Amino acid sequence: MGKKVIITGVPGVGKTTVVNEALKKLKAEGIEYQSINFGTFMFDVAKAEGVVKDRDQMRTLDRQVQKRLQQHAAQAVAKIQGNVLIDTHASVKTPKGYLAGLPEWVLREIMPDTIVLVETDDDQILMRRLTDETRSRDKEGSRAIAEHQQFNRAIAASYAMLTGCTIKIIVNADFLLDRGAEDMAAVLR
Ligand code: AMP
Ligand code: MG
């Protein structure tokens, strides 16, 4: 049985960056992970249906549509064998409130060993979003970012209750990417 590790964190915290650095370290040790992005599985379907043009529009879709895309992605992800690392969100900020990224029916499909929360200071996330030209990141203040990070911890506790998985908090602070990557690698080893 492979390991299933879910990576979460608010948009712009640098999940993908930390994961990629950690995977480089593991590769050098002969440890392989298949790295997948949950949002991409959702987006491929949403794009084919013509309901969105870019991935950042998905969080504003009707809640029922988001849930259907989510369920579809969960089933696809569940089929992947071996060590798998799933880049996703503990909660998604929608115009109508937080949507659980890993509701019970998603967790039952995936049954992760560990859920990682990548975090850093709210104002660092604010700055990272402002300088990211590649994505339509939400424009919000550091209080709102703080609330989202707090909410993610709270909801992650419920995911641990549902699955028995462990919850690991990893800090991706400015200038300390390597420390975050090393902590991530330690979770994946
Ligand atoms: P990302 O590339 O990780 O920022 O994800 C892009 C988009 O995919 C997010 O803004 C959400 O709309 C959607 N998404 C990703 N993971 C989930 C999930 N577990 N549940 C619901 N929506 C998700
Ligand atoms: Mg990402």
Q: Tell how far the Cα of 11 is from the centroid of ligand 2, in angstroms.
A: 7
pLDDT of residue 3: 97
pLDDT over 90 percentage in the chain: 95
Coil, strand or helix at 64:
helix
Residue 62 is given by DSSP the state: -
Residue 47 lies in a domain: no
Q: How many domains does the chain have?
A: 1
Q: What is the CB neighbour count within 10 angstroms for residue 25? A: 17
Q: Is the CB of 42 under 6 A from ligand 1?
A: yes
Residue 75 lies in a domain: no
Residue 77 lies in a domain: no
Name the closest-CA residue to atom 20, ligand 1: 101
Give the tens place of pLDDT for each residue, 43-71.
999 999 999 999 999 999 999 999 999 99
Residue 59 lies in a domain: no
Average pLDDT (119-135) is 94
Name the closest-CA residue to atom 13, ligand 1: 39
Domain that holds residue 181: 4-34+82-188
| pLDDT beyond 90 at 172 | yes
Paired with 132 in beta bridges are none
Residue 74 lies in a domain: no
| pLDDT beyond 90 at 137 | no
Q: Tell how far the Cα of 13 is from the centroid of ligand 1, in angstroms.
A: 14
Work out the burial of residue 39: count CB atoms within 10 Å of its CB; fewer than 13 is exposed, 13-18 middle, 19 or more buried: buried
Q: Tell how far the Cα of 73 is from the centroid of ligand 2, in angstroms.
A: 16
- Amino acid letter for position 50: G
Residue 48 lies in a domain: no
Residue 91 lies in a domain: yes
Residue 87 lies in a domain: yes
Q: Is the CB of 11 under 6 A from ligand 1?
A: yes
In terms of Cα–Cα distance, which of 94, 100, 83 is closest to 36? 83
CATH of the domain at 181: 3.40.50.300
pLDDT of residue 136: 87
Average pLDDT (122-143) is 92
